[in-house]
Structure 1
Amino acid sequence: MKKIAVIVLWFGPVRDYFKLWMRSLEVNGDYDFLLFTDQEMDRSTIPKNLKVEKLTLEDLKETIHQRLHIRPTFRFSYKLCDFRPAFGELFEPQLAGYDFWGYCDVDLMFGKLSHFITDDILSSYEKIFNRGHFTLFRNDSRINQLYRSSRLIDAQSIMESPACFIFDEWHGIHQIFKEFNIPQYHEECIADIHPNKARYTCSNIENYAKQLFVWEDGLVKQYFIHEGQTRHRELAYIHFQKRKIRIHNTRAFISPSVLLTSTSFVPFQGTVDADLIRKHDRPNYIHYFQRHSNRALNALSKFSKKTAPIDRSLISKTIKA
C-alpha cells in the first residue's frame, strides 16, 4: 500500500463546513492530511489521520524564501495556490517516507478515494488529477522539481508576482507535465459544482433536471431522477467552491448521512427517493445574485486593492502532448 500525504494551508477563521471536511478525512484512513494553519484547533475533534502544525503566514513566507529561494510578495492567501506545485520541495522534511504527496481544498467532502485511486493507478502514473482542488504527485526528486523545469512557463516569475496565475491547475503544472510527456491520470469521477449557478450544477459531469448530492455513510453520491427512476452514481468527492454554506443543524456534524444542498447541509437518515430529491434540489438565488454582483465588482478590481489580482496570461498557454 502506498503512503500518501495531502497538504492543506489555511489562514484565518475556518468556515462552517470545516468540520464536515474533517469527517470526510476519517473515511480515508490510508491517507495522511497535513494541515498548516495559524488557527487554534480543538484537538478532540481532529481525526487521527489529520496532523496539524501551527504556522503563520509570515513564517510560511520565510520558509518559501529559505527553501525555494523566492521572495514572496503576495498580500492574499489565495496566491498560495500558485505555490502548490512546489510543495514537494517546500515541505520536503514533512514528506519524508511518503510515496505520494498532494494538496487539496477544504471546500469539499471526500468519499472513499481508494474506490477511484487504485494501487494500479498509483503504480502507473506520476500525477493524479489536474483540477487544483485535489491533486497527487509521486514523491520523487525529479517530479518535485518539475514545476521549475519548463522551457515555456517561468515558475519563479509566477511565484514572485503578487498576481494569481492558477498555476496548480490545467493551465499550469498540468501543461508542464505534458511538456515532458510524463503520464498523468485524470478521470471525471468528481462533482465539481459550478460556482455561478443557483442550484448545484456540475461543471464536469452530466447533470439532471432533478438531482441531489449526498454524503452517505462515507460515500459521496449523486442521486438523480432519470426516465422516472431514482438512480445514483458514486463519486470520489464533491467540491462546492465559492459558496457561503451555513449549517443550521449541527447534527450534520455527527449524522451518518448529510444532504448537500445549495442553501445548507442537512443531517439525514433514511432512503433517498424522488420526493426527497425534488424537495431539496432548490436554487439559491441569494448566492446567484451575490456571485454575479461580485463578478461585476471584480471586473473593476484594478481600481481596488481589496481583491486578489488574477493574471490570466498563463491560461492561454497550451502545450501539445
Structure 2
Amino acid sequence: MKSILLIVPYFGKWPLWFDAFLLSVAANPTINWLCPTDCEIPKSQPANITFLSTTISQLNQHINNVVEAEVPLNPRKFCDLKPAYAEIFAKQVVGYDFWGFCDMDIVWGDVRKFITEDILSEHDIISSRKENISGHFNLFRNTPQLNSLYKRLPNYRVLYGVPEFKWTDEVILSNFIKTDPAFKALGIKVYWSKILCNQENGRDSHQEYYLDKWLWKDGKMLQLKNGEPIDEVMYLHFINWKRTMKYSVVKYEDSPNQFYISFNGMHYKPHMAFEIILNRYKNLYNGYYVRESQRKGKTRIKKFFKKN
C-alpha cells in the first residue's frame, strides 16, 4: 500500500468542528496528516496525525530560504505556498510515496475507497476536482521533479512576494498544467477525471443552507435525501458553512460512530420534519444562493457607478 502524507498548517484557534475533523482522520488509519500549528496540542488525538508546534514568524524565515523569495507570510498566504509544501517540510515527507495538501474545513470519508492503489500507481498528480487542481485535496508523487514543480510556475517569486492570495495552488497551477509546453514535456500523469467531494453546482464546494444533508457514519461520508443515503463522497468540504456553523456537540473522546452535518452545526440527532420544511422555505428568500445573487448585484452596481 502506497503511503500518503497530507499537510494542513493551521494557526489561530481550533475551529468548533475540530473534534469532528479528528474523528474522520482517525477513521483513515492508513493515511497520515501533518499539522504545523500555534494552537494548543490536543491531549487526545489520532495516532495518524502529527502536530508540529511552531509560529508563523518562526516558519517565515525557513520558508523564505526554501522558496528563494521574501514571503509576507499570513494564514491566507499558506494557500499560495501549498505546491511548495514538500520542500518546506522536507524532513517530514521523507519516506512517503505521496504527499499532498488539504484544508481544515473538511470531514473525511473513506479516502482509500476513492484513491485506489491503481490510481496511485498510474498517476503522479491526483486531484479531487474535475480538470483542476484542488486546494482542499491534492496529492503529488514524492519525487524531486514534482516537489520542485512550483518553481516552474511563471514569476512564482513575484507571486510569493506579495501579501495578497494569488490562487497559486489552484488557478495558476491548473493553468500551467493545462497549457504550458514545459509541463507537457515532463511526462507527468495527472488524475482529475472525477469529482471526489461535494460539488453542488459542478464547480466548487459551496452549497445551500441545508439541514441533515450529510451523515458521517462508520468512516463514510454519506449524502442524504429524506433521511436516506443517496451518495457517498470522499470528503465533505463545507467551505461556506464554516461561516454559519454555530455549534458542534461532537467530541473526539466520545468516539461516536455517526453524526449529522448541517449548515448551522454538527449534531447526533436529526432535525424534526417541520424544522427541515421551515428551513427549505427560508432558503427560498434568504438562502445562500439568494444572498450570493444579491451580493453580486450590489457589486455590479458599485462597479457601474465607479466607472461613471
Say which SS state the counterpart of residue 135 (structure 1) adopts.
Answer: strand
Within 2, Cα distance between the matches of 1:142 and 1:172? 18
**Paired AA for residue 57 in structure 1:** I
Say if 1:250 and 1:145 are closer, same or farther in 2 by CA, change over 3 A: closer
Matched, 1:185 2:186: no
- Contact between 1:223 and 1:277, CA under 8 Å: does it hold in 2? no
1:1-321 equivalences under 5 Å are 1-43=1-43, 45-74=44-73, 76-129=74-127, 130-150=133-153, 153-169=154-170, 171-178=171-178, 179=180, 180-181=183-184, 182-186=188-192, 187-192=194-199, 198-200=208-210, 212-224=213-225, 230-242=228-240, 243-244=242-243, 245-250=245-250, 254-268=255-269, 278=276, 282=280, 285=286
Identity %: 27
**Paired AA for residue 2 in structure 1:** K
Say if 1:4 and 1:230 are closer, same or farther in 2 by CA, change over 3 A: closer
Within 1, Cα distance between the matches of 2:191 and 2:114? 11
Aligned-residue RMSD, C-alpha:
3.3
Gaps of 5+ in 1: 201-209, 300-321
Say if 1:148 and 1:232 are closer, same or farther in 2 by CA, change over 3 A: same
**Paired AA for residue 145 in structure 1:** S
Say which SS state the counterpart of residue 121 (structure 1) adopts.
Answer: helix
State TM-score, norm by structure 2.
0.80
Within 2, Cα distance between the matches of 1:223 and 1:250? 19
State TM-score, norm by structure 1.
0.77
Say which SS state the counterpart of residue 260 (structure 1) adopts.
Answer: strand
Q: Which of the two has greater helix per residue?
A: 2
**Paired AA for residue 99 in structure 2:** W
- Contact between 1:212 and 1:281, CA under 8 Å: does it hold in 2? no
1:249 positional shift: 3.0
Which range is displaced more, 190-199 or 86-95?
190-199
Say which SS state the counterpart of residue 172 (structure 1) adopts.
Answer: helix
Within 1, Cα distance between the matches of 2:45 and 2:291? 33
Say if 1:295 and 1:64 are closer, same or farther in 2 by CA, change over 3 A: farther
**Paired AA for residue 174 in structure 2:** H
Within 2, Cα distance between the matches of 1:136 and 1:27? 19
Within 1, Cα distance between the matches of 2:298 and 2:52? 36
- Contact between 1:125 and 1:185, CA under 8 Å: does it hold in 2? yes
**Deviation readout 1:10-29 (Å, 9 max, x if unpaired):** 11011100111111001111
- Contact between 1:3 and 1:98, CA under 8 Å: does it hold in 2? yes
Say if 1:248 and 1:164 are closer, same or farther in 2 by CA, change over 3 A: closer
Gaps of 5+ in 2: 128-132, 301-308
Say if 1:195 and 1:233 are closer, same or farther in 2 by CA, change over 3 A: closer
**Paired AA for residue 165 in structure 2:** C
Which range is displaced more, 287-296 or 96-105?
287-296
1:275 positional shift: 5.6
- Contact between 1:192 and 1:240, CA under 8 Å: does it hold in 2? no
Within 2, Cα distance between the matches of 1:12 and 1:114? 30
Within 2, Cα distance between the matches of 1:214 and 1:260? 6
